[in-house]
């Protein structure tokens, strides 16, 4: 934008390295922050690296295949028993369930109570999606809101500086206030 003095104010520069339409900065040698390597130089993970580390965390913190099969054999138990079952598994092993296993548990008795119970114990909660997925993998929208990531991919999250943010939030587990609300759930302990 030209000024009356003839100088230009807020000169727009496009990155001359990637030609991706990103704006450059004179501090980055007229490159966008990604081409300049700002993230790598300052210890910030990009979205793909962050997503990969979150997937690794989930893989390390979920039950093994036999444990998931055992849970699915008991998917038709009452909500109170399912809650106690998942709490017992978590307290004894420190492991959560996958979104795939959680969806099968939810579909066995699709109710709000069951959704809140199952959603609290899902390690890879970013896979809870209600949009842009096939019908067989679709969760109810309220689950995507409360426990998921609004159907966004974990790879599209902004970068983080340290390892303490992996995953960005832990599953709520037995301390979920949606479950521990006697009025809402109608469950007595």
- Same structural domain for residues 10 and 82? no
- By residue range, what is the domain housing residue 36? 1-42
What local confidence, expressed as pLDDT, does residue 105 receive? 97
Judge if 66 and 157 occupy the same domain: yes
Q: Residue 76, class by beta-carbon neighbours within 10 Å (0-12 exposed, 13-18 middle, 19+ buried)?
A: exposed
In this structure, the answer to whether residues 81 and 162 fall within a common structural domain is yes
pLDDT at 163: 65
Both 37 and 113 in one domain: the answer is no
Phi, psi (deg, nearest 5) at residue 14: -95, 150
Domain count of the fold of the chain: 2
* CB atoms closer than 10 angstroms to residue 122: 28
Alpha-carbon distance of 7 to 28, in angstroms, equals: 22
Residues 6 and 51 in one domain: no
Return d(Cα 66, Cα 117) in angstroms, integer. Answer: 21
The tens-digit pLDDT sequence of the chain (189 residues) is: 567 887 766 556 777 677 666 777 777 777 777 777 766 677 777 778 888 999 999 999 999 999 999 999 999 999 889 999 999 999 999 999 999 999 999 999 999 889 999 999 999 999 999 998 999 999 999 999 999 988 888 887 766 666 667 888 899 998 888 776 654 556 554
pLDDT of residue 22: 76
Q: Are 83 and 180 in contact (CB under 8 A)?
A: no
Query: Counting every residue, how long is the chain?
Result: 189
**What does the angle CA 141 – CA 150 – CA 61 come to, to the nearest 5 degrees?**
100
Residues 148 and 165 in one domain: yes
Please check whether residues 163 and 110 belong to one and the same domain: yes
């Amino acid at each position: 934008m030209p000024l009356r003095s003839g100088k230009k104010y807020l000169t727009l520069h496009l990155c001359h390295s990637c030609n991706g339409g990103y704006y450059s900065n004179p501090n980055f040698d007229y490159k966008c922050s990604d081409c300049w390597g700002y993230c790598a130089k300052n210890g910030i993970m990009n979205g793909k690296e962050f997503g990969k580390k979150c997937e690794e965390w989930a893989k390390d913190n979920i039950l093994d295949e036999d444990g998931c099969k055992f849970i699915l054999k008991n998917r038709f138990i009452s909500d109170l028993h399912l809650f106690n079952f998942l709490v017992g598994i978590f307290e004894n092993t420190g492991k959560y369930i996958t979104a795939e296993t959680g969806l099968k548990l939810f579909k066995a008795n699709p109710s709000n109570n069951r959704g809140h119970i199952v959603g609290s114990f899902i390690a890879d909660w970013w896979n809870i999606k209600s949009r842009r997925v096939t019908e067989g993998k679709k969760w109810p929208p309220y689950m995507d809101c409360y426990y998921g990531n609004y159907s966004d991919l974990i790879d599209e999250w902004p970068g983080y500086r340290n390892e303490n943010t992996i995953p960005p939030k832990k599953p709520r587990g037995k301390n979920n206030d949606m479950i521990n609300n006697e009025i809402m759930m109608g469950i007595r302990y």
